[in-house]
Structure formats: C-alpha cells, structure tokens
Amino acid sequence: MEDKAHVNRVRRAAARQGLTLRKNRTRDPLALAYGWYVLRGKRELAHLRTLEEAERWLADPSSR
C-alpha cells in the first residue's frame, strides 16, 4: 500500500501537467484492472500498474 504523501505528490505532479491521476475503483482483486492507475487529460493517456510507473511516466516525456 502506498503512503498518502507519495500518492498526493504524484497527483500534484500530474496536475501541474494538466492531468489527473486516478486509481481504478474496481474492488475485485481478480479483475484485470484491479489496483491500476489512470492518467487522464482530455482523454485517457495511460494505464499504469504502480504509482512508481506513474511517477516515471510524468517525469520522462520521452517515455510517452
């Protein structure tokens, strides 16, 4: 489980780039999208497995 400060830091980094970071709301641990993060702008930009992946995606524009 990620700590709240880390999640908030990544959410603020996304907001500075005009994006929102949301965690998938699926409650079923057997579902494919369980625990994934979604970065959204005007459309969905990325589906990421961990918060660290989201942080790397935001920090490195060449990875997009």
Instruction: Tell me the pLDDT tens digit for each residue of 19-50.
Output: 999 998 888 989 888 989 999 988 878 889 99
pLDDT at 54: 93
- pLDDT at residue 64 tops 70: no
Residue 62: band (very low, low, confident or very high) from pLDDT cuts 50, 70, 90: confident
The angle at the Cα of 51, spanning 64 to 18, to the nearest 5 degrees, equals 55
What does the DSSP 8-state code read for residue 27?
-
Q: Check whether 1 has a pLDDT greater than 70.
A: no
The range of the structural domain enclosing residue 50 comes to 4-63
Domain count within the chain = 1
